[in-house]
Amino acid sequence: MLASDSEYYDEYRRLIWWLFFGTRGGSMRLRIVEHIKEKPSNLNQISVSLGINYRTSEHHIRILEDNGVLISKGDRYGKIYYINPNFIDKLEIINKFKEKK
What are the two backbone dihedrals, phi and then psi, of residue 81, each rounded to the nearest 5 degrees?
A: -105, 140
**All structural domains of the chain with their residue ranges:** 3-100
Measured N-to-C along each axis, helices 54-66 and 43-50 cross at an angle, to the nearest 10 degrees, of: 120
Instruction: Label residue 32 by pLDDT band (50, 70, 90).
Output: very high
30-47 burial, b if ≥16 CB within 10 A, otherwise e?
A: bbbbebbeeebbbbebbb
| Average pLDDT value over all residues in the chain | 91
Residue 2 has pLDDT above 50, yes or no: no
Please determine, for residue 39, whether its predicted confidence score (pLDDT) is greater than 80. yes
3-100 adopts what CATH topology?
Answer: Arc Repressor Mutant, subunit A (1.10.10)
